[in-house]
Amino acid sequence: MFPADLKYTKDHEWLKPAGDGTALVGITQYAQEALGDVVFVDLPEAGASFAVGEEFGTVESVKTVSELNMPAAGEILEVNASLGDHPEAVNEDPYGKGWMVKLKLTGDLTGLLDATAYEALVSAESH
């Protein structure tokens, strides 16, 4: 449920470092379950830069809306355009086809949780 090669935030985003200074960002299995059916993902333009923790978009489900916050400082290299027609990919494959943005990292990854720490956090929240 929480892949070991990802880093996580307390706000339920994940970040996957590619090893070349870039990373993919999305929301976790726990987050997509809490939202329910996703119907729209509002993402920034490529080229935009964000600080760590800054809001970079929103994800809307039938029931509610949630802000997306940057797990790490970076510049948007690419957004997942296929979510425009297939927002349900966020529910079906949150760590794969449901990725949201590709970042060029401009800061470090300190402050992110590993899978074990994130699982503990989620387990505490759901009790």
Q: Give the separation between CA 54 and CA 1, rounded to whole angstroms.
A: 26
Region 22-41 residues binding another protein, contact defined as CB under 8 A: 33, 36-37, 39-40
Which residue, chain included where needed, has tokens 């505490």? 124
Measured from the CB atom, the residue of 11 and 104 that comes closer to another protein is 11
**Residue selected from 1, 21, 51, 58 as contacting another protein according to rule CB under 8 A:** 58
Q: Does residue number 62 form part of the binding site for another protein (CB under 8 A)?
A: yes
Closest CA to 45 of 3, 94, 81: 81
Q: Give the separation between CA 80 and CA 67, rounded to whole angstroms.
A: 17
Region 95-114 residues binding another protein, contact defined as CB under 8 A: none
Measured from the CB atom, the residue of 91 and 106 that comes closer to another protein is 91
Q: Does residue number 64 form part of the binding site for another protein (CB under 8 A)?
A: yes
Contact (Cβ atoms closer than 8 angstroms) between residue 2 and residue 118: yes
DSSP-derived letter for residue 30 is: H
Q: Give the separation between CA 109 and CA 96, rounded to whole angstroms.
A: 21
Measured from the CB atom, the residue of 5 and 33 that comes closer to another protein is 33
Contacts to another protein by CB under 8 A: 33, 36-37, 39-40, 42, 58, 60-65, 91
